[in-house]
Amino acid sequence: MNGDEEVMTTFDSPPRKLGPSLKVEVTDGVAVITFDMPNEPVNKLNRAMKDEFTALFDRIERDASVKAAVLMSGKPDVWIAGADIEEFLEFKTAANAERLSRDGQTMLESLEKMRVPIVAAIQGACLGAGLETALACRYRIAADDSKTVLGLPEVQLGLIPGAGGTQRLPRLVGVSSALDMILTGKNVRGKKALQIGLVNELVHPSILRRIAIQRARELSEGKRMPPKIDGGLKSLLLDGNPAGRMVVLRQAREQTLAKTKGKYPAPMAAIEAVAAGYSGGKGKGYREEARLFGEMAMTEASKQLIFLFFATTALKKDTGTQSPISGDIKKIKKLGVLGAGFMGSGIASIAVQQGSLVRLKDADHARVGKGFAAVRSELSDRLKKRQITPLQMGDYMSLLGGTIDYSGFGNVDLVIEAVFEDPSVKHQVIRELEEVVKADTIIASNTSTIPIAKIAEASSKPWRVLGMHFFSPVHKMPLLEVITTPRTLPEVTASAVAYGKKLGKTVIVVNDGPGFYVNRILFPYLNEAGLLLDHGVAIEDLDKALVHFGFPVGPVTLMDEVGLDVGAKAGKIMAEAFPGRLDPAKSFQAVVAAGRHGRKSKKGFYLYDDAGKKGAADPDVYKLYLASGTPISSKPTDEKPPGTPPPVAESEIVQRTTLAMLNEAARALGEGIIRSARDGDVGAVFGIGFPPYRGGPFRYMDSLGIAAVVEQLDELNQRFPGRFEAADILRDLARINGRFYPDDDSAPVPLPTLELD
């Protein structure tokens, strides 16, 4: 028996492995391939897997007894999660990345052109290179399951699909639907995938294997052809002809530039790859896709976004004996929430969706009722988007109970208080709680600025008190700060972290202190913005400069959104904690004193319509804090009244506000408020929207060069004594030419100032 004949025996039943990750079982001429990477929670594609798949394809091609095949996953809830991102860290040049893309294209082209039809039987996450693999199959069947999602999320890493996704997807579902998926990176669920033609069938998970085998056999016998999707008149006009596609592509370029402001090059590159495939055929399209993938892999944006991917992944695993977060984990089955307002109801809404029993308390039935309505509204929104079923919504609501006293709190495992931001109020509820809860019930505060040690003063068991600081709106913001005091027990911290992760949050552990970490670095930024307003910088110019820098909204808009009254109270606490560094801006004080609280009161610095939509800045606001009553634009103008302060350049607006934040982040690290620069970067990006493409405050300071940062701080501190005194850790690093990430071999960006790109 020669080598080839020996290979053929691998397809005989019972199933046998062809390599570490692939198992094949043949049933009446249909090879069922099960992909199950050993010792890995998910299936992913890397160089070794490409070799394994290529060998498998070759063997199937040469075995005449195999008439068709089905590709399935051996992992629960995951088909193929995508490419192995760790391989991307090995790229040294664009040519390296381009080569990897070409290798992936070659493998999937072999799959697409196989003699036998391959049916993708998809259950669970089918993402990135996983979806590109499915696209190369002859037929796709998805399990009608909440865990089944399909998507091309590469732009979220600053990349584009590199294994044929920019070419196959538009031809399958049309340019409009394809660009919607590629440019946003958003997932598509089973029903939507069927609607747009991304999958050919949607079946119950219990019959997925049987139907996939049946369809594979029908395809091999010529009894079934993949149906063509009729997208209607709109599809015919836009996707079905060159002129329509040109319109779609032009609109996509315009909208993408408006959204990314040129900071994220990958979406534009993806559009060009799609366009190349239509203008020059598939061959040119594949070449452009690989070339552009290589270029994007070398961009600074991709480097920082991949760092954030690994940082958040590491935080998800950040428990156990090898982690600073160690201790026995108490399972949280029943949660008590004090305060049924915006934050309390938000916490309750995400908790019931993870199967927790929730007891929601407030002072009267009307407030509890509003809390219930808020939870129901959030669930209804998910129902409308088909993210949950009516049965699930009913199940979730059945987990929620309300009370105006402490009935039902006797057996809760964790209580999160989200009451009024006042130490005396929080002390009162702590004392009341301890009369009814179990001895081992964890008590957490959702305070945003009050030190946890101060709150714990009211507790007879301060070791079980800590902070769980959620961000608003709770169901959208991904970050959770868990704040500990020197007296908090390790098992209390570990339990809070584990529960935060169960709620789907990215969790950082922060030591106690005013503002903790995220708000501590936010307030110097906001306060400096207020002082610029005091100087006469126009509201729109200030916001525009920081949006240009990369923040999702400007600081004035942010204050209006949060609530100027809330910000003023928190700002007072921060100013008292750090005297001399955070001199309150008269602009914020004057606007609050005038009863303008932001969007919730329909007017703040900006005006809002009845639906709460922001309009233009209100010119009357300037009269509240500028003596002249005339706004002074940061743009040069011809004439100014006598005594008018000189205009402030956009670069200085960015420099002063961002350096205040960067310096405070360095202080927080130097004082041990955060455990690492990694935690600080993740906290800033996911907590306050620090520009992801810059990596976070510490990655950004590394890119600028620490010495350059210190030099700019010193220059500003001469002009504004006390506000910009460089943190000790920055001076120490500058002296040794050090970095926050010493293992990162990239060179600092030689910028003389923190200027805009």
pLDDT, tens digit (0-9, with 9 covering 90-100), for 158-186: 999 999 999 999 999 999 999 999 999 99
How do the residues of the chain divide into helix, strand and coil, expressed in percent and rounded to 5?
50, 15, 35
pLDDT of residue 634: 53
Highest mean pLDDT out of 288-297, 386-395, 610-619: 288-297
Exposure string (b/e) for 8-31, b if CB count within 10 Å is 16 or more? eebbeeebeebeebbbbbbeebbb
- Distance, CA of 255 to CA of 752 (rounded, Å): 32
pLDDT of residue 6: 33
CB 296 within 8 A of CB 160: yes
pLDDT of residue 242: 80
In 3D space, the residue among 131, 201, 191, 140 whose CA is nearest the CA of residue 161 turns out to be: 131
Q: Which two tokens stand for residue 550?
A: 């990369």
Kindly state the average pLDDT of the residues 512-534: 94
* Beta-strand pair 479-484/465-470: antiparallel
- Scanning 421-517, the segments in alpha helix (DSSP H) are 423-434, 452-456, 490-502
**Distance between the two ends of the chain, CA-based, in angstroms?**
67
Residue 352 has pLDDT above 50, yes or no: yes
The conformation of residue 554, written as its DSSP 8-state character, comes to -
Contacts 24+ apart (CB under 8 A), 363-371: 363/404, 364/404, 365/404, 367/340, 367/341, 368/340, 368/402, 368/403, 368/404, 369/402, 370/340, 370/341, 370/345, 371/340, 371/341, 371/344, 371/345, 371/402
Known catalytic membership, residue 481 = yes
CB 113 within 8 A of CB 54: no
Residue 644 has pLDDT above 90, yes or no: no
Mean pLDDT, the chain, integer? 89
pLDDT of residue 223: 86
CA angle 208, 211, 214 (to 5 degrees): 150
- Distance, CA of 170 to CA of 164 (rounded, Å): 10
Residue 16 or 95, more confident: 95
Weakest mean pLDDT among 124-133, 262-271, 543-552, 636-645: 636-645
Residue 589 has pLDDT above 60, yes or no: yes
pLDDT, tens digit (0-9, with 9 covering 90-100), for 208-235: 999 999 999 999 998 887 666 555 545 6
Per-residue confidence band for 572, with pLDDT thresholds at 50, 70 and 90: confident
- Residue 353 makes CB contacts below 8 A (sequence gap 6+) with 379, 388, 396
Question: What is residue 456's three-state secondary structure?
Answer: helix
CB 371 within 8 A of CB 402: yes
Residue 156 has pLDDT above 60, yes or no: yes
- Distance, CA of 177 to CA of 689 (rounded, Å): 28
Question: What is residue 443's three-state secondary structure?
Answer: strand
Kindly state the average pLDDT of the residues 313-322: 67
Q: Which two tokens stand for residue 55?
A: 């060998």
Residue 612 or 499, more confident: 499
Residue 685 has pLDDT above 50, yes or no: yes
In 3D space, the residue among 704, 714, 687 whose CA is nearest the CA of residue 748 turns out to be: 704
The strand order across the sheet containing 68-73 reads: 16-17, 22-27, 30-35, 68-73, 118-122, 139-143, 201-203
Per-residue confidence band for 323, with pLDDT thresholds at 50, 70 and 90: low
Please identify which of the residues 481, 561, 650, 652 carries the catalytic annotation: 481
- Distance, CA of 455 to CA of 428 (rounded, Å): 10
Question: What is residue 282's three-state secondary structure?
Answer: helix
Kindly state the average pLDDT of the residues 648-671: 95
Kindly state the average pLDDT of the residues 543-554: 94
Residue 144 has pLDDT above 70, yes or no: yes
The conformation of residue 726, written as its DSSP 8-state character, comes to P
Q: Percent of the chain, pLDDT > 70?
A: 90
CB 375 within 8 A of CB 352: yes
pLDDT of residue 338: 96
Residue 579 has pLDDT above 90, yes or no: no
- Distance, CA of 88 to CA of 252 (rounded, Å): 28
| Count of CB atoms situated within 10 Å of the CB of 78 | 23
Q: Which two tokens stand for residue 434?
A: 């301890």
Query: Domain spanning 334-510: which superfamily?
Result: NAD(P)-binding Rossmann-like Domain (3.40.50.720)
Q: Percent of the chain, pLDDT > 90?
A: 72
Task: Tell me which fold the domain 519-735 belongs to.
Answer: N-(1-d-carboxylethyl)-l-norvaline Dehydrogenase; domain 2 (1.10.1040)
Kindly state the average pLDDT of the residues 126-142: 96
Residue 298 has pLDDT above 70, yes or no: yes
pLDDT of residue 747: 42
* DSSP characters over 588-650: HHHHHHTT--BGGGTBSSEEE-TT--EEEE-GGGHHHH-TT---B-SS--S---TTPPPP--H
pLDDT of residue 228: 65
* Beta-strand pair 22-27/16-17: antiparallel
Q: Which two tokens stand for residue 535?
A: 């100087």
pLDDT, tens digit (0-9, with 9 covering 90-100), for 17-37: 557 889 999 988 999 999 999
Kindly state the average pLDDT of the residues 466-482: 94
Task: Tell me which fold the domain 3-298 belongs to.
Answer: 2-enoyl-CoA Hydratase; Chain A, domain 1 (3.90.226)
Burial of 363 (0-12, 13-18, 19+ CB in 10 A): exposed
Question: What is residue 533's three-state secondary structure?
Answer: helix
pLDDT of residue 629: 54
Per-residue confidence band for 568, with pLDDT thresholds at 50, 70 and 90: confident
Residue 321 has pLDDT above 50, yes or no: no
Residue 745 has pLDDT above 80, yes or no: no
In 3D space, the residue among 583, 205, 569, 212 whose CA is nearest the CA of residue 421 turns out to be: 569
Q: Where along the chain do its domains lie?
A: 3-298, 334-510, 519-735
* DSSP characters over 157-190: GT----SSHHHHHHHHH-HHHHHHHHHH---EEH
Weakest mean pLDDT among 335-349, 383-397, 630-644, 729-743: 630-644
pLDDT of residue 113: 93
